[in-house]
Structure 1
Amino acid sequence: MINKTFQGNLQVREFATREEMGTDAAEAVATTIKDLLKEKEYVNMIFASAPSQNEFLIGLENAKDVDWSRVVAFHMDEYIGLKSDHPQTFANFLRKKLFNKLPFHKVHYIDGNADSPDGECKRYSQLLMDNPVDIVCMGIGENNHIAFNDPHVADFDDSRLVKIVDLDSESRQQQVNDGCFDSIEDVPTHALTLTIPALTNANYIYCIVPGKNKAKAVRHTLKEEISPRYPSTILRTHSDAILFLDKDSASAL
């Protein structure tokens, strides 16, 4: 670790490489899972689907002595309208990277092809209410979104847990920058997303943000006024959140 600081309540850990960052984040999450399982039967977790999470997800796969059969998993967003076998659905990303590799007790998937998107929001919201979230593992978008709460739809006091959103152009372009789609025209325009309260209601938040493309967003997260204009600034108010950076994502600090 290069550095450990605090910005508000948010602990910030900086590492020399993505690999070191991912390993440390995975170890921290694994320790929290094991501690929680001493007190409760199941741990409920939310995961993000993005290349920025790759090193962290590899670290989780290799974590020692975690009883994954007592972990219930959710994911935080899903495109509307992509075919269920499309490789860029967030469900398929996490199946490939994590969910098919470890013996989770249960994985709850968001259905981006549900006949009624509103009905799917209600169904997934009920699952979250029935399984209060212990741990969120997330990233930050280039426009400071968390999940798909882009600035124009971000609401720190949202009464909903899951909602339908239209994606702004910067958020869609990020999917191209990440190599997930060939052009912005290929990126869906709408998605289902967990809201900001659905994420911040969790007891623990681990936010993994590597890469040069995220340097500006990291600076905004730590330096700007806490407001929906920069949705990730809300992390500075959480009672138990850690932001994991590599030297590239921390380069604008």
Structure 2
Amino acid sequence: MVTEFTKGRLKVKMSNTRAELGEVAAKEVAAYIKELLSRKDEVNIIFASAPSQNEFLAALLTHEIEWNRINAFHMDEYIGIDPDASQAFGKFLKDRIFSKVTPKSIHYMNPQAQDPEEECRRYAALLKQMPADIVFLGIGENGHLAFNDPHVAFFDDPESVKIVDLAPECRKQQINDGCFKSLGEVPTHALTITIPELLHVDKLYAIVPSKAKAEAIRATCDGPIRTTCPASILRTHKDVTLYVDKESASLVIR
């Protein structure tokens, strides 16, 4: 059972469970990819990396998609982390989807680049060369989009990809998600695609289950549109669908 409502221009679809949320989102995403591929040779997709995406990515694998016509990107990565570490976002995507399908190309951020600023420029150039058609988003417990935490989120950011320092709340979420055992293990800096670069994409899908995200979803849907909750800017985009479950939507006014 899916309940639908809108918040500004934001389309919200609420499922009863995480599993149902993943299935509903995957079905609609797969249909849109198929429709895009009927009129384009290739589709470029930016993927989020977080436990919130697990059910969605698993469900997406059950659909017939011409992955050999998909160019894949990921939206953020810890600076300095071993690319093969379980917490690395590239590794997350490799384990959950890119080891199971064969996209035309996969473009990972390099967390161990000698010059992180140059890595930002390299990745920004790739995004300019292959503009994204679709973004799969998560929303952080503090309302962040990608690693654009409130203190480094700018709705008019001039950069496409940048280096950020991670807010304490963001780093604590990584422990809550079971990715790290202690705060000292969580990297302090990351590479991230910026908010304007994400919003420039025509089609956005935000997949956000769990009670831990309830306050962030309330602020996204009902709070003021400002960088104290970066995800609130989604209400202004022309085509975003937010998939929530009853727990993550429990504080939203309906």
Indicate the TM-score class for this superposition, using the shorter chain for normalisation: over 0.9
Secondary structure class of the residue paired with 2:244: strand
* Within-5 A mapping of 1:198-217: 198-217=197-216
Matched, 1:107 2:141: no
Aligned equivalents of 2:31, 2:234: Cα separation in 1:
21
Matched, 1:241 2:231: no
**Aligned residue number for residue 22 of structure 1:** 22
**Aligned residue number for residue 118 of structure 1:** 117
The count of residues paired between Structure 1 and Structure 2 equals: 252
Aligned equivalents of 1:85, 1:14: Cα separation in 2:
35
Aligned equivalents of 2:2, 2:249: Cα separation in 1:
11
**Aligned residue number for residue 154 of structure 1:** 153
Per-residue Cα deviation, 1:117-151 (whole angstroms, up to 9, x for no partner): 00000000000000011000011000000000000
- 2:141 is matched by which residue type in structure 1? E
**Aligned residue number for residue 130 of structure 2:** 131
Aligned equivalents of 2:32, 2:202: Cα separation in 1:
10
Matched, 1:58 2:58: yes
**Aligned residue number for residue 11 of structure 1:** 11
**Aligned residue number for residue 142 of structure 1:** 141
Per-residue Cα deviation, 1:220-240 (whole angstroms, up to 9, x for no partner): 000111111110001101111
Note the residue ranges of structure 1 that are not aligned, 5 or more in a row. Answer: none
- 1:49 is matched by which residue type in structure 2? S
- 2:161 is matched by which residue type in structure 1? V
After TM superposition, the score normalised by the length of structure 2 is 0.98
Per-residue Cα deviation, 1:196-222 (whole angstroms, up to 9, x for no partner): 011111110000000000000000000
What percentage of aligned pairs have identical amino acids?
52
Structure 1 outlier segments of 4+, above 2 Å:
none
**Aligned residue number for residue 180 of structure 1:** 179
Aligned equivalents of 2:67, 2:93: Cα separation in 1:
15
Aligned equivalents of 2:250, 2:5: Cα separation in 1:
15
Secondary structure class of the residue paired with 1:152: helix
Aligned equivalents of 1:83, 1:99: Cα separation in 2:
18
Note the residue ranges of structure 2 that are not aligned, 5 or more in a row. Answer: none
After TM superposition, the score normalised by the length of structure 1 is 0.98
Secondary structure class of the residue paired with 2:11: strand
**Aligned residue number for residue 98 of structure 1:** 97
Secondary structure class of the residue paired with 2:241: strand
CA apart distance, 1:156 = 0.6
Aligned equivalents of 2:115, 2:2: Cα separation in 1:
48
- Larger deviation: 146-155 or 30-39? 30-39
